[in-house]
Structure 1
Amino acid sequence: MIDWLNQNSGVLQVITSVCTLAIWLFYAQLLYTTYRRDTRPRLLINKGVGKDDLGSPCLICNMSKEPIFIQCLVVELETSEGVFCTTATDPDESLDDDENRKPVRERTRQGPLHSGACIEVKSFRELIERAAVAGGVQVDDGLPRDREVDFLSLRLTIISIYGPEDHPFGAARTFSLDCSDVQCPQIQPMSLDTERLTSRKDKRQVEQWLWEYI
């Protein structure tokens, strides 16, 4: 056995070196994966509890390890007449003197959101109405007055700055709309999770919205 080890010592050293390198690569990949998970921003856009589907509040939760700074909320309403886009960053377009005396957090949704924190962003009905009005569509209680117009989906995009990152990032979720029953319209998420906007096209759109709405 000793003679065989002596005769094949060179091969054994190579095998040992390869195994050691593989172990180091495994731990390096593990550390990198952990680092990426800890430093990657993660937002959740969800439907909260409400009296009915359209009356449910839209919730934004920061599941990142560090705080984020919300810069802009963009609402896109897909209809049979086209896609209407507007911002929902501020609760109201105009503020009177009484509104201006309120705390900043009550006058705008811009600002920091700490890790594990959650904020409520209007009801889905209000978001639909805001986008519809921006597109010139008259609505009653979240539904189009013109029954020839169909509301198909609602997409909410959050544009934020994450502490370790130098550039803004976007997170979006789309909800399908079923308004066939005017007494009980339905809204349901079209994906199991919130989408991170990482493609070049998405990043260009995020920058365009910032220039337009900020």
Structure 2
Amino acid sequence: MFDWLTENIEVVQLIASVTTTVVWIVYLNIFLQGFIQQRRSSLLINRGGGEDLDSRCLVSNMGAQPIYLLDVLAATEGKTAPTLASVVDRKELRDGQNERPSEVTGQGPINCGNYVDIGSFRDVVERAEFHGLKEVENDSKRLKLIVVAATNQAKHIVAASREFDIEGDGDAVAVRPRSVEARQIRARRKRKRLTKLLEEIQRKRSGEAVESAEIDRL
């Protein structure tokens, strides 16, 4: 055995070098994957404090970095295409007595592991209807919420969406999520579409709703 190793020392050294290289590549890949996962944003959109329209709409930051909440968009079915409007501002609290920005808008920084209360789902629906979305609260309607934020590490926006069914009528209206958690919008082309939609909404007078087939592609 020793004689064979001596005769084939170059082959053995080559195999050992290749094996060591492969092991290091595997470890490096595991490290990079873990690092990327830690740096990724993770936004949650939850219903809390009940199941009706008075339950709270909560936006949480579960990523490793603080974020700045730019907007919360609500989408419903329109006449020819889905309709989208901003619902991040608490228009129901604009009475001139609220001096702190946090009292009249949901915009602002959210630290890691923290959340912001956007308002009740009733508030969200009323804001959406105020900006031109068709009446959500009758029979069974789909409400899609899209959270848009910025980070100090990303050149582009980060976003997530979650859909809810508004079921029932009168005092028996329930808010039911269609999925267990929010869907992260990570694809570059989808974030570009969302940026264009956000810019279009911001150009509208008083935040009027916009119709676009792009909403269903997010």
- Normalising to structure 2: TM-score of the pair? 0.81
Cross-structure match for 1:33: 33
- Hey, what does 2:210 align to over in structure 1? none
Aligned-partner Cα distance in 2 for 1:87–1:103: 20
Q: Give the SS at the match of 1:135.
A: coil
Change (3 A) 1:82 1:134: farther
Is residue 76 from structure 1 mapped to residue 75 from structure 2 by the alignment?
Answer: yes
Q: How far did residue 35 of structure 1 move?
A: 1.4
Q: How does 1:132-147 map to 2 (within 5 A)?
A: 132-135=129-132, 137=134, 143-144=137-138
Equivalent positions of 1:1-150 (< 5 A) are 1-50=1-50, 52-78=51-77, 83-92=82-91, 95-99=94-98, 102-135=99-132, 137=134, 143-144=137-138, 150=139
Mapped partners of 1:134, 1:171: distance in 2? 22
Q: Which moved more, 1:160-169 or 1:70-79?
A: 70-79
Equivalent in 166, 169, 180 of residue 155 of structure 2:
166
Identity of aligned residues (%): 29
> Tell me, what secondary structure is at the counterpart of 2:190?
helix
Structure 2 unmatched ranges of 5 or more: 203-218
SS at match of 1:41: coil
State the 1:53 CA deviation: 2.4
Question: What per-residue deviation string (whole Å, max 9, x for no partner) do you get for residues 137-156 of structure 1?
Answer: 45xxx723xxxxx5421111
Q: Which residue of 1 aligns with 2:172?
A: 184
Q: Is the 8 A contact 1:72 1:213 kept in 2?
A: no
Contact 1:55 1:125 in 2 (8 A): yes
Q: Any idea what SS the aligned residue of 1:143 has?
A: coil
Residue 82 of structure 2 aligns to a residue in which SS? strand
Deviation readout 1:152-194 (Å, 9 max, x if unpaired): 2111111111121121121111123333x65433322222221
- Kept in 2, the 8 Å contact 1:77–1:131? The answer is no
Q: Which moved more, 1:62-71 or 1:166-175?
A: 166-175
Note if contact 2:78-2:133 (Cα within 8 Å) is conserved in structure 1: no
Shift of 1:88: 1.0
- Aligned partners of 2:78 and 2:172: how far apart in 1? 18
Q: Which amino acid aligns with 1:209?
A: L
Deviation at 1:19, TM superposition (A): 1.1
Q: CA deviation at 1:200?
A: 4.1
Residue 151 to residue 126, structure 1, CA distance change in 2 (3 Å): farther
User: Which residue identity lines up with residue 77 of structure 2 in the other structure?
Assistant: E
- 1:98 is paired with a residue whose SS is coil
Measure how far apart 1:25 and its partner are. Answer: 0.7
Structure 1 residues 173 and 108 mapped into 2: Cα distance closer, same or farther (>3 Å)? same
- Displacement, 1:93? 7.3
User: In the alignment, what sits opposite 2:194?
Assistant: 206
Kept after mapping to 2: 8 A contact 1:85/1:134: no
User: What displacement does 1:132 show?
Assistant: 3.2
